Structure 1
Amino acid sequence: MPELFRRPDLLRLDYDTYRALPAVANSDLSRLRDALDGRPPRPQTSPSNGALEFGTAFHTALLEPDTYVPGQPGLNDTLIWWLVDGVKMNSQLAEMLEQGTPEPSCLFTEPETDTLCKLRADLVVDVPGQPYTIIDFKTTIARDAEHFRSQCTVYDYDRQAAFYTDALKADRFILVGVQKIEPFGVFPVEVTELMLHEGRQKYQRLLRLLKAPATAPSYRAEAVQAAVDALGLGE
């Protein structure tokens, strides 16, 4: 008899409440990666802090259109809704948008490192008799679908896919690149087992580093420790 499992609960939280949860997010792992690679720290941002960035505005229009506020400084509302319409012209994506739960959050313990983690997915589709699917939308300036596919590894989208897939025990993870420049193409990419394997190695390595920042190379030790301290989760 196959072993039964229970997926973590999907929580309906506003963004600021989610951000305040004392757990490690994929974005935190990106900051730790940046410190390890010698990149400058990323600024902490929140939709409630002022003008939205383009990607955040697009996600709001696509996933929670009733909460979209037009006329934000520096944003082209017409372009944002044009991109939303472009996504919905793909019949499969349109159906998943109708069926799915937008912007659900989740708290879970990553078993390999015993780390309390959190995630906030773009869209989760849980329909009886169909694969449990996570969809994540990325605005992009990639030239075409193959260019976007190659970026999935470069930008660590594979790490995010593995982090989310493992947490929710999902059957599928679909990345959707949405061109924000002409010709405004839409590029769905189903994440492969190889991508998940490579992404899993990435996130587990970073979680181990979070547990033991002293294991970072000596020339990055100070930056890594600062990144860990900034999370406020140090033991």
Structure 2
Amino acid sequence: MPTSPTRRPDLLRLDYDTYRALPAIANSDLSRLRDALDGRAPRPQTSSNEGALSFGTAFHTALLEPADYVPGQPGLNDTLVWWLVDGVKMNTQLNTLLDQGTSEVSALFTEPETDTLCKLRADLVVNQPDEPFTIIDFKTTNARDADHFLWQCSAYDYDRQAAFYTDALQADRFLLVGVQKIEPFGVFTIDVSEQMLAEGRQKYQRLLRLLKAPATAPAYRAEAVQAAVNALGLGSSDTES
């Protein structure tokens, strides 16, 4: 008998701290594990109310939750933030998606290959009748041009995030939008290809398998990988980027 399709996980409206406290593995947790595997220093653990507000966080708030934007934060150029927001909205396709979509939605799901409880928080999800189910993620970038941003999508593991989210939400389409924070303040839209998704899928599944079996890490990275897994506690995770 044919198997019934897997049900798409519910989209949840959660505040940031509630999302962060969910006992599940986020894409950013996989980045911590990747850093340990690559011999990079551990990322600092921060909460939403610690430290200076990053430019990227400010931009996301202004674009996706403008009512929550607080001007005058130390070290932030409010004019530049809103300039970039206006640049995104000048793109007719992106402005339509912003009007149709739901921002900052979360989901809990079990990744089937490794049976790992995971979570995600998407910048924007568009689910309209007779239209492809679309996820959009916005990245501020210093990329010189669209080709440079496309390279960053692989080098910075944005492809892994795209695959992680696409597979979890059974999305038809994933858009990565690079917004230059330097002149000429261009906006680059990448419609993530099946090849990029396949490469990203290999990345996240490899890291989830390592999370389940840290002893399989190379001997010279075993201690760092085990420490990263212990810090996650198979369920204690941090921010989504």
1:81-100 equivalence runs, <5 A: 81-100=82-101
* Secondary structure at 1:46 match in 2: coil
* Secondary structure at 1:108 match in 2: strand
* Secondary structure at 1:229 match in 2: helix
* Secondary structure at 1:70 match in 2: coil
1:195-214 equivalence runs, <5 A: 195-214=196-215
Q: Which residue of 2 aligns with 1:175?
A: 176
* Structure 1 position 50, deviation (Å): 4.0
Please say which of residues 40-49 and 137-146 is displaced more in the overlay.
40-49
* Structure 1 position 5, deviation (Å): 4.0
* Secondary structure at 1:49 match in 2: coil
Q: Which residue of 1 aligns with 2:23?
A: 22
Identity among equivalent positions (%) equals 82
1:37-56 equivalence runs, <5 A: 37-56=38-57
Indicate whether 1:59 and 2:51 are aligned. no
Distance 1:162 1:26 in 2: 10
* Secondary structure at 1:23 match in 2: coil
* Structure 1 position 119, deviation (Å): 0.2
- Please provide the CA RMSD for this pair: 1.2
Distance 2:24 2:179 in 1: 30
TM-score (norm 1): 0.97
User: 1:16 is matched by which residue type in structure 2?
Assistant: D
| Structure 1 residues not aligned, in runs of 5+ | none
Q: Which residue of 2 aligns with 1:8?
A: 9
Q: Which residue of 2 aligns with 1:151?
A: 152
1:191-230 equivalence runs, <5 A: 191-230=192-231
Distance 1:217 1:117 in 2: 25
Q: Which residue of 1 aligns with 2:238?
A: none
Task: Determine which structure has greater relative contact order: mean sequence separation of CA pairs < 8 Å that are 6+ residues apart, divided by chain length.
Answer: 2
* Structure 1 position 70, deviation (Å): 0.6
Distance 1:45 1:176 in 2: 26
| Structure 2 residues not aligned, in runs of 5+ | 236-241
Cα deviation digits, residues 43-76 of structure 1 (max 9, x gap):
1223322421010110000000000111111100
Indicate whether 1:121 and 2:130 are aligned. no
Indicate whether 1:69 and 2:83 are aligned. no
